[in-house]
Structures are given as structure tokens and as C-alpha cells.
Amino acid sequence: MPEKEQGSFQAASNNVNFPEQEQSILEFWKKNDIYKRSLEQRSDQQRYVFFEGPPTANGKPHPGHCLTRAIKDLFPRYKTMQGFLCERKAGWDTHGLPVEVEVCKELGIHSKEDIEAYGVEPFIQKCQSSVWQYMQQWEQLTERLGFWVDLNKAYVTYHQSYVESVWWSLKSFFDRGLLYQGHKIIWWWAQGGTALSAGEVGQGYRTVKDPSVYVKFPLLDRENTSLLVWTTTPWTLPSNQFAAVNEDIQYATVYDAEQDHYLVFAADLVEKIATKMKRELEVKSTCSGKELVGLRYQPPFDYFYKTDGEKTGKLKSGETEPLAWRITSADFVTTDSGTGAVHEAPAFGEVDYELLVSEQARFEPGQGPDLICPVGPNGKFTNEVPDFEGQWVKDADKALTKKLKEENKLYLLEQYEHEYPFCWRADEDPLIQYPRRSWFVKTTEYKDKMLANNQEINWLPEHIKDGRFGNFLGSNVDWALSRERYWGTPLPIWVCQSTGQMEAVGSYDELLAKPGLTGTEVWDKAKAANPDLVDDLKVHKPYIDAITYDSPFESGARMNRVSEVIDCWYDSGAMPFAQWGYPHQGEEDFKQQFPADFISEALDQTRGWFYSQLAISTLLFSDDPEVKLPHPFENCIVLGLMLAEGHVCVKCQHRHMSTVKKCEKCGGKVQRKTEKMSKRLRNYSAPNEIFDTFGADALRWYFFANQPPWTSIIYSSRAIKESIPQFLLRLWNVYSFFVQYANIDGFDPSSVSNPQQLSAESLGSGKGYRPVEQRSELDRWIISELNRTTKTIVERMDNYDNYVACTTLSAFVDSLSNWYVRRSRDRFWAEDKEDTDKLDAYWTLLECLAATCKLAAPFVPFVTESIWQNLTGAFGADANTINSVHLCDYPHPDESKIDEALSRQMNLLREIASLGLSARMNEKLKVRQPLSGMTVVLNDPTDQAWLETHDALLKKELNVQEISYTTDAGDFVTYQVVPNFKLLGPRVGKLMPKVKAAFGAADGKAMLESLSLSGTATLEVEGESIELTADDVEVRLKANEGWAASQGTEAVVVLATELTPELIRGGLARDLVRLIQDYRKERDLERTDRIVLTVQTDSDDLKQAIQENKEYITSETLTAQLLDTSADGGGVEKEIGELKIQLDIEVAGHTSGGA
RNA sequence: GGUCGUGUAGCUCAGUUGGUUAGAGCGCGUCGCUGAUAACGACGAGGUCCCAAGUUCGAAUCUUGGCACGACCA
């Protein structure tokens, strides 16, 4: 932690503990209500609307939630700093099966019967309280991550106001005919009398053998001809309604001589079936499936056919058509197995049922075919199938098959091995697909509007729009809304017990106002008995079910609520209005905060929250002329999945918790492996562990800066740790450097006006401040870079591209650290505290740090806050002033300060420095060894004059005495001219390869001379002369062998490698300085201590080196007095290469100036 | 089986309307710097840009078809 020392700023440790620091920042935010202040500041500004997708509260938060919460925090923070008002209302998803399951586990019960036996009332009460079980963990994570969201005002899906909003929307649908009853085919456990969820079904698959039957469906209009139909569930044959073929498949009519009968089935399968029948099947003709559609047939059983066989209905097109027992087309039919003709019993198959629904849709309402279902919920045939009445359907397979055989309708019978689901609780009970009455929202009627709405949404990544989400919308089916469960929003529909007519209720008050109402006393009693009961429960089962009233449809009859609750996805999808209780209350809030500017969740929400919101909103608001597309959200970042990193032994598969090289068990090699996050494998660390070890900023920065958010993100503490030095630590080091020297020099910025913002303008009043234009080039350069960076970041963030924004910011901090500060160190060490150049350096660095803080604040809110407070703390702000970077305005780029030419030139300079180092490296000439000279050969002389003014810088960086520039250094380099493909390509077209060859053969130097003299050059290709300008040619230099040279894209750098004795002595002097500095450190000298230095050596070279470089040595090491003694003195023995040397240091005094 | 996505260095990933020398970080190796120092820098090795065909003067990039992996759906 910073300790107070003399100077304007608190000392910044260069061994910072981020997690500890973050804790104190959290306290500061809390104590001063910074989040609230950040909103109050913008109270009259334009809104930026954010919707929080409600997490399910009754489960522990895991690392994936850190990512969503980090992204959800980033953009609201950014927009707030930009001046928008962005309120962030939290929300919790509280209903649904997962909650019931959790409570059942606790109670040790399973089935619905168990729940009924336990009592719905206490069960619901347990559900309600169970929801909040992990709330503390959620709130802790939210806060620790720095996710600013209003937890106190959170919306909760079980709250009465929320439920009533949902009711209102459902009433609207009901009244508009968009909410209807139909059938849903579900996996049904007949013996237990309950449906199973997808997850439960998935657990129970087993490989079993079932009969596979090929049945003849005699075609009515074709004599002695049958469609050959295949099924593995003979028990569904009595319920047959259609036979389906694929329009695009070819069908053959074959002749079976043995039976003297014609059969129609897929042409591709003739051979296969002939083999199975062990007989010849002669193909008489073929046709496409399309030609078969519409043909009528006689079903194998006539339980329904005998009465309804001739029934027809009126199509929407005006024609009439038989209701059933005809061939239809379905594209799910394939020739992979069976016959290419599929038996359809819509009651017992989901796709079959969809086929029925689409058939029904062709007819006028009420005219289409009804569902045939002669099987009871107990899985036994009803009296509609008298021959098999009371038989369990699976058991009836045999008898049915026998009957078919007797009636000569069975063509082939075999056994078929496949995966089939059984009940996971009673594993002898096979499940069957079975229709249940269910409520649907007619989303298909608004499909086109949903698609249009989708088109207006800005999806990130873009392919979601027309890919995953668009496709999902395109194949939209009506939303099966109801659930036969307990803990959920009750479906607000009451039925007349006498007429069966229904009406929807839009609010609790509306219900209470119904005539002859009774039943509210059930709730009143419960509440009286237990005053702690949450009032919201009164709109839930079982209390709401007790409420009945007089039927408006028939006098004397009563209205009872239907028993179902609704899908909890509907709850969350209703949040855009239900979070405010709209329209019963919160109208103002809703109008102001709809639609959302921004939402974000992970990819798994495509069919979840993204869809439920869009569907509900489209059905509810699309007809309102005031609601414009898109709604309910405009920008949506779809996050990738989060993966973990395992450490697995190649040999024995033993798992390790962290990166180790050798297996603990067998000593084998341990490899990193990207895999799914798994609680069981424990292949990830808890978020808290990350927070405690590396800090929330580290985690956030890792998420934001390492990949675009929609790719899958690997959550590994190793990777998170590695991301720290790149940015956080580098920024901290620059900051700590600044504070260190500002304090030494007593740099005092307190005269600045408006220190709360520390903007470039406000700094102008500072003491010793000079406008940027008057400062040195390095200062102008970094300020230019700062503004360039700001421009890019704002541009990218406005496009929701946090990744490139981070990359850009990181590159700037790198420039600041590794070029600006590095090149400016001398200036900070300058003796004269009032030196203009020195003050310029401080003001420049201060401006850069302040701006970087503000730029980075939304990404890494903790470290920026800490730096900011110390930077601004220097301005003599009193204790009552609240300084927070999060109350600042986001920087705007000042384009007038962007100097593109300077930027290019500085890059060139950096490249040359880099090339110089590279050449030194190749020649093994360490930087401490001075060299006499260096020649720079430029591709392009444009910036030569500029570079020449920076000789001093390069000389120092590369330790050379002279630098010369040339564009003509034939000895060192070869000129290669290459075509500018981008320009010449379109011009010469197919000649390009020849042109390229001609370039290769041409005399590059001559061509360049011609270009520089006349501005043009001519190239002869295939008898054509091609006129070239300078733009058409790119010059590349290639360093020749035998020189200490390095080549880059813009230049070649050649070093003079001869070492004169004098140069060698210069090197010795530098070696000596290094030794002295080391020794000073060893002796724990203050960096400002002046010394008396004693050097004793036998080497004449070294003695001469000291003599020649006395000035340099003493000033570098703050030596007040240099004693050269040949007598044996005290001190330590050191070595420079082979040379022995004895050093001694005494402190001579203290200087308050820079080193 | 369908839809979508992904495939680039040992690992994790960039690669901006197609332009001939494909980049970063980490890791590895070599070295440098030495009062920002438990920091920092330079250099190096490492690539059939999944495969094939096509379009084009020119393809990591566009088209088609495969293959592999992943997600969702069935």
C-alpha cells in the first residue's frame, strides 16, 4: 500500500498487490456511492438502455457468469462516461422445473404424486424460499467483479407485479386468438402417468429389438397395387392417418410374381427389399414422389376408416379434399431405412404430429382432420379399438402383427435394433410418445414480422442474424407454453365448467372484480396462520386455483382456472415490460427504456432469452405504429462458450490441477488440453480464487483483450495470469515511474483548474505547462499517438468491438512505456528542476496517464481508479471532494493533435533502432561497446532530413558515434525493384507474370535513377513498352553478405565494426559505470546520494579509459570526487572481462536533484 | 441426419474491399540492458494458412466439394 512520502503524490509501490488494492477500491465505491453518483451526473442526459438477462438465482454462479457480467458491465460504463444515462436494473429468474427439482431433492421425493402428497401449498412455499439460497454468492460475485448493477431494485419473476404483467400480455394474446389449446407430443411414462423432460429422456436410452414391419397400403385408384409402408411401432398402425413420401425421391412400381401384386416404394431400395424377400421384383415403372402425393389408400385397420373414410373438408383454396388416408409429402422421409414411404400416426410422433398440423392448416378452420388417439394416458387401447381394448400398446405389437398377417397385409417382418428411451426411474418401462393437451402461442402468425424485426437487430457476431437465429425463426413453430407443474406463473385463463368457454384475466384486481368471486379466503387463512408468507404467493398455485367466479357464459355456472403454469422462458422474455410491472404501473419507465440499446448473453440463449424476448415483443408491440423496429433490443453480443484447461498425463491419463511438466503418478508428460468445464473433473478454479490471486481487473482484461467475445474463451488461471504483464503491470510501471520522479523533483501540478477531469484543456493552467506545439518532438509524438489511440478506441467501442479497442490501448501503453518513457529518462533525471524540457516531460506523461486511466476505466475499473485517485489527489482537493475516474467524461480525440507524418517517422526511427540492435546482435557486439559509426540506407529518402535531426537519440540508443544516411550504398546493399501489384495488376492484367519477370531482370538501380530524374521509367514486355511511375515500383533493399548489416522493410542498417583502442576504452568506461551502479545498489545507497569513489587497477588501458571518460563516469554515478589510487585500498574486487579492479565508495552527501 | 460455426507457429489467437516477405502474445532458445530493476528490451528457431478443384494476372482471403472439431436441433 502506498506510504505517504514527501512530494505531491503517494508513493506507488512497484510491487503492487492488485487484489488487495481492489478491496479498498470496492470500499471506496460503496462508501461514496460512486455508481449512484455516476447516474445522477447524467440524470438529464440521453438514455442508453441496458437489459439484464435474469440469471437463475437458485444455482451457484460459475466462471461463465463472470464473462457475461463483465461484458454487461463494460459497455454501460463506457456509455455512462460518454455522457449517457444508463440505469442498470438487476433481475432474477425464479420460476421453473429446476427449482422444483432442487426442492424435491431436499425433500427426498420425485414424482408429481409425491408433490401432491406432500402438499402443493408447502411445496410452493419451499420453492419460493429456495430461490434465494445462493443469493449471497451471486451478490458477492457481482460486486467483486466490479459489475455495477442495481441489485436493490432487481426485478423478480415471481413478484406479483411481474406476474400480473405477464398475465396482461397473455390476455392480449388470448383476446387476439393468439393463445390456443392444442396437442403437444411428449415422451410419456404411461405407468407413472407423467411426462419426462428432455434431460430425463436422454438418460434412459437403451438398445432394444423391436419388430420392423413392412405393410401393404392398398391404393384405391390403382388396381392390385399397394404402397409399401414401413414402421417399427405396429401398435400405432390403428391410429394411421397418412402415408408420407418425399417429393424428390424416385419411386418404383414393382411386380411381385409370387403374390401377383404390385408394390410402390423407393426405387433405390428395390434391390435391398428383393434380397430380404429372397425373390425377384420386377420394376414396371418409376415416378417421382410428387406424383404419388394425393393418392388415396386403405389403411391396415378400419376402426376409424369405416366411419370416416369418405369424409372430406373444404380447403382454403376452395377445393375439397379427403381428410385422411391419402399420401402426403414430407421432406423428413429418406431412403436410409424402410421403404421410403412412412406410416403417419400423428398422435404418437412429434414429426407426425407436425405433419397433421400443417395438413390442418391447408383446410378452412374447423374443416381439417382431427387427431386420432385411441390410446389412454395409461398406455392402453381404448374402446375405439375394440379388438385390443385394455391392452398395453407395446404388448399389442404381436397380436396386431398377427392380424395383419392373417389379412395378408403384412409384406415383411423382421427385428430391428435401435436406441429407445426407457423411464430412468423404472427401467423396465418403455416410454411412448403421446399427445397431451397443451397451450400454444401462435407465434407462426407473426413469423414474418419476427423475421423483419430480426433483420434490424445488430448481432455480434453478424452471422447469428441469418445463421443460427434467423434459421431458428425461419422454422418457427407455435410456442408450447403450458407446463403441468406447480412453481411457475399460473396461466391466467378461467373456464366455464358448464360450457367450456374461456376467458383470460389481465391482473389480480381484474380478477377480484369478477362477479360472485370466492376463494380468496384460502390465501387469507394461510397468511393469517403464517404472517411471514410472502404476499407474492397469492398469485401462485394453489391459492390462485381456489379462486372461482360466476360464468358470464351461462348463468349458474362457475369459472375455474385451468391448472397449468407457463414455461419460465416466457417469464424472462417478458422482462422488457414486466420488470416495470407495465402496464399496471411503471408506464413512464417502460416508455423511456424500451427497446434496449444493448444486451448480451451466451450462445445458448439463442433459443432461450433472445427468442423469448423477440417473440413476445413482436406479438405484443409490432402492430403498434409507435413502436419501431427493432425491438426489444438493438445490439446484441452473443458470447462464446467458456472452456476449461485440463492438465492430463499423456501416458496414464492422470489429471493435475495446474501446469506441471511431469505426471505425479507415472512421470509421463503432462499436456494442456482444452475441454468443457466440468464440476466433476474440477478443471477450473472458482472465480473467487482468481479474484484473490490475480484480481478482478486481470480477469476482466483477459476476457476483453484476448479474443473477440464470441469465440470460445478458455478459462484458465495460467492464461489469466499471463495476461497481466502485457497491460496492467506495464501501465502500473509507467505510473510508478512517474510518481517516483515527480516526487523527487517536487513536480507540483496543483495549479491545474478543474482537476476532476484532468483533460488536456484543464491542464493548460498548470505551472510550467506549455502548449503541446511548443514541446519537443517526442512529446508531440506521444500526444499524437494518444489522440490516435483515443480515436480508434471510441470508434471500435461504438461498434461493440472491445477486442480491437483493447489491442489498441495496449499498443499505446507499450509505446508509452517502451519508447516515450525509455527515451525520456534523461529528461526526468535532469539536474534543473525548473528546466522547461523536464517540465514538458512531466506534463506530457501526466496527460498520457490521466487519459489512459479514463480510456481504460470501463475495462479495468479498479487499477484505473487507484491510479486516478493518486494522480488527482495531488491537486489539493479537500477531503470532501470525490475523485473517481468513473465520474469523468470519456476522452474525445483531438484530431488537430494527430500528426500522421510524425507517427510514420517515429515508426521508421524505431525500426532503425531495432535494426541496429539486430545487427549488433548478429555481430555479437554488445551495446556497451561504442562503435565508430553506422550507415542507414533508406528505401525512400522522404524522411531522411527528419531522421538526421534525431541522430542524438539513435546514437545513444545504439551507442555509435556517427550516423550517416544514404539512398545509394551499392557496396552494402543490392536494390531490388518489384512491381506494385495492386496498381499494376489491374493495368496490365494477364501480362502480370511477364512484368514480374521483367522486373526481376531489370537493372534496379538504373530504373530508380530514371524515375528520380524524369519521374518515369519504361519496361519492355512482349514488345510492349510499359510506362512506369514511381508509384508503380516498390524498392526493396537487400543487405549484401560480408557486412554487419540488418534489413527491414524500410531500411538497411550497416554498422562499422572496427574497434580502435579508443573505442575499446570507451566500452571499458561503460563497463565501469555499470559496476559502480551495481555496487551502489549492493550498498543500499539512495539514488540521490553523491559519492566519493576510489578505483584502483593495474590495467593501463583501464586507467586511460577512466582518464578519457572522467566526465562521463562521474556524472553517471553521481561521483563528487574520483580518487585514483595505486595503493591497496579497501573496497571490493570486481572484474571487467579479464581486468581486475578494486572499488570503494563513500557517501559524500545528498543531492535533492535528479540523478 | 439437419443447421450454424471453426480449422493459420508447440499453445491461445489476430489477419481490416484478393496484391506476391502471413502477424501478436505465451512457451522455447540465445543475448542484451542495468537507478522503472522481483522491471524491461532485442534477436532466433518454429507455418504444405485442413484437403482438393475452380474463379483470377494474383487466393490464407472468393466459389464449390470433401475431411476434422464444436454448438444447437432432430
Of A83-97, A156-170, A699-713, A1088-1102, minimum mean pLDDT range: A1088-1102
pLDDT in tens, A761-787: 778 878 888 999 999 888 999 999 999
Residue A1 has a pLDDT of 31
- A1119-1124 and A1089-1096: which strand pairing? parallel
Known catalytic membership, residue A465: no
Residue ranges of E strands in A78-178: 89-92, 150-156
Instruction: Return the closest-CA partner of residue A251 out of A215, A292, A279.
Output: A292
Residue A167 has a pLDDT of 98
- Which nucleotide is closest to the Cα of A608 by its C1'? B72
Residue A2 has a pLDDT of 35
Q: What is the pTM of this model?
A: 0.85
Q: Does any strand B atom come closer than 7 Å to the Cβ of A465?
A: no
Residue A1151 has a pLDDT of 56
Model confidence at A483: pLDDT above 50: yes
Of A252-261, A332-341, A555-564, A1143-1152, minimum mean pLDDT range: A1143-1152
Cβ atoms of A1052 and A937 closer than 8 Å = yes
Q: Give mean pLDDT, residues A350-365.
A: 84
Instruction: Return the closest-CA partner of residue A800 out of A147, A71, A81.
Output: A71
Name every residue whose Cβ is closer than 8 Å to that of residue A96 and which is 6 or more positions away in sequence.
Answer: A56, A487, A488, A568, A571
Cβ atoms of A340 and A269 closer than 8 Å = yes
SS3 A879: coil
Residue A4 has a pLDDT of 38
Known catalytic membership, residue A235: no
Longest dimension (CA), chain A: 130
Asked whether the CA dihedral A568, A574, A578, A582 is positive or negative, the reply is negative
Instruction: Return the closest-CA partner of residue A887 out of A867, A865, A866.
Output: A865
Q: Does any strand B atom come closer than 7 Å to the Cβ of A740?
A: yes
Q: How far apart are CA A883 and CA A870, in angstroms?
A: 9
pLDDT band at A957 (very low <50, low <70, confident <90, very high): confident
pLDDT in tens, A25-60: 999 999 999 999 999 999 999 999 999 999 987 788
Residue A5 has a pLDDT of 44
Distance A711 CA to B7 C1' (A): 13
Distance A726 CA to B59 C1' (A): 34
Model confidence at A1080: pLDDT above 90: no
Strand B positions within 7 A of protein Cβ atoms: 3-6, 11-14, 19-21, 25-27, 31-44, 56-58, 70-74
Q: How far apart are CA A320 and CA A1009, in angstroms?
A: 89
Model confidence at A3: pLDDT above 60: no
pLDDT band at A632 (very low <50, low <70, confident <90, very high): very high
Residue A531 has a pLDDT of 95
pLDDT in tens, A212-242: 888 888 888 888 888 888 888 888 888 889 9
Name every residue whose Cβ is closer than 8 Å to that of residue A818 and which is 6 or more positions away in sequence.
Answer: none
Task: Choose, from A73, A92, A93, A979, the residue flagged as catalytic.
Answer: A93
Known catalytic membership, residue A829: no
Of A5-14, A369-378, A456-465, A1138-1147, minimum mean pLDDT range: A5-14
C-alpha cell at A670: 503432462
Instruction: Return the closest-CA partner of residue A1052 out of A1062, A1041, A1063.
Output: A1041
Q: Give mean pLDDT, residues A847-851.
A: 93
Amino acid at A239: S
pLDDT band at A256 (very low <50, low <70, confident <90, very high): confident
Task: Choose, from A392, A609, A819, A868, the residue flagged as catalytic.
Answer: A609
User: Which range is most confident: A24-38, A249-263, A820-834?
Assistant: A24-38
Distance A986 CA to B23 C1' (A): 27
Q: Does any strand B atom come closer than 7 Å to the Cβ of A33?
A: no
Can you name the residues that pair with A231 across neighbouring β-strands? A213
Cβ atoms of A550 and A559 closer than 8 Å = yes
Q: Does any strand B atom come closer than 7 Å to the Cβ of A1082?
A: no
Model confidence at A428: pLDDT above 60: yes
Q: Does any strand B atom come closer than 7 Å to the Cβ of A321?
A: no
Known catalytic membership, residue A60: no
Name every residue whose Cβ is closer than 8 Å to that of residue A649 and which is 6 or more positions away in sequence.
Answer: A655, A656, A663, A665, A666, A668, A669, A670, A671
Q: Does any strand B atom come closer than 7 Å to the Cβ of A1149?
A: no
Q: Does any strand B atom come closer than 7 Å to the Cβ of A784?
A: no
Residue A577 has a pLDDT of 97
DSSP state of A191: T
Cβ atoms of A767 and A748 closer than 8 Å = yes
DSSP state of A297: B
pLDDT band at A650 (very low <50, low <70, confident <90, very high): low
What HEC string does A785-844 produce?
A: HHHHHHHHHHHHHHCCCHHHHHHHHHHHHHHHHHHHHHHHHHHHHCCCCCCHHHHHHHHH
C-alpha cell at A942: 522522404
C-alpha cell at A1016: 518515369
Q: Does any strand B atom come closer than 7 Å to the Cβ of A500?
A: no
pLDDT in tens, A159-216: 999 999 999 999 999 999 999 988 888 788 877 676 766 656 666 677 677 788 888 8
Known catalytic membership, residue A679: yes
- State chain A's mean pLDDT as an integer: 85
Distance A807 CA to B24 C1' (A): 10
pLDDT in tens, A717-732: 888 888 888 899 899 9
- Which nucleotide is closest to the Cα of A983 by its C1'? B19
% of chain A with per-residue pLDDT over 70: 94
Pick the more confident residue, A950 or A565. Answer: A565
Of A387-391, A619-623, A795-799, minimum mean pLDDT range: A387-391
Q: Give mean pLDDT, residues A1023-1035.
A: 82
Residue A200 has a pLDDT of 61
Listed in sequence order, the DSSP H helices in A185-285 are 198-203, 270-277
Instruction: Return the closest-CA partner of residue A510 out of A583, A577, A619.
Output: A583
Pick the more confident residue, A335 or A40. Answer: A40
Instruction: Return the closest-CA partner of residue A238 out of A373, A124, A96.
Output: A373
Instruction: Return the closest-CA partner of residue A185 out of A502, A440, A446.
Output: A440
pLDDT in tens, A912-927: 888 888 888 777 788 8
The residue that minimises its CA distance to C1' of B13 is A707
Name every residue whose Cβ is closer than 8 Å to that of residue A1006 and which is 6 or more positions away in sequence.
Answer: none
SS3 A975: strand
pLDDT in tens, A388-420: 888 888 888 888 888 888 888 888 888 776 667
Amino acid at A1048: G
Q: Does any strand B atom come closer than 7 Å to the Cβ of A925?
A: no
Residue A615 has a pLDDT of 95
Pick the more confident residue, A256 or A831. Answer: A256
Model confidence at A853: pLDDT above 90: yes
Q: Does any strand B atom come closer than 7 Å to the Cβ of A814?
A: yes
Q: How far apart are CA A481 and CA A542, in angstroms?
A: 19
- A320-322 and A312-314: which strand pairing? antiparallel
Asked whether the CA dihedral A844, A849, A852, A854 is positive or negative, the reply is negative
Cβ atoms of A790 and A851 closer than 8 Å = yes
Residue A30 has a pLDDT of 95
Name every residue whose Cβ is closer than 8 Å to that of residue A878 and which is 6 or more positions away in sequence.
Answer: none
Distance A710 CA to B10 C1' (A): 25
Residue A199 has a pLDDT of 56
Pick the more confident residue, A620 or A604. Answer: A620
Q: Does any strand B atom come closer than 7 Å to the Cβ of A603?
A: yes
Q: How far apart are CA A263 and CA A216, in angstroms?
A: 8
User: Which range is most confident: A599-608, A647-656, A959-968?
Assistant: A599-608
Q: How far apart are CA A805 and CA A790, in angstroms?
A: 9
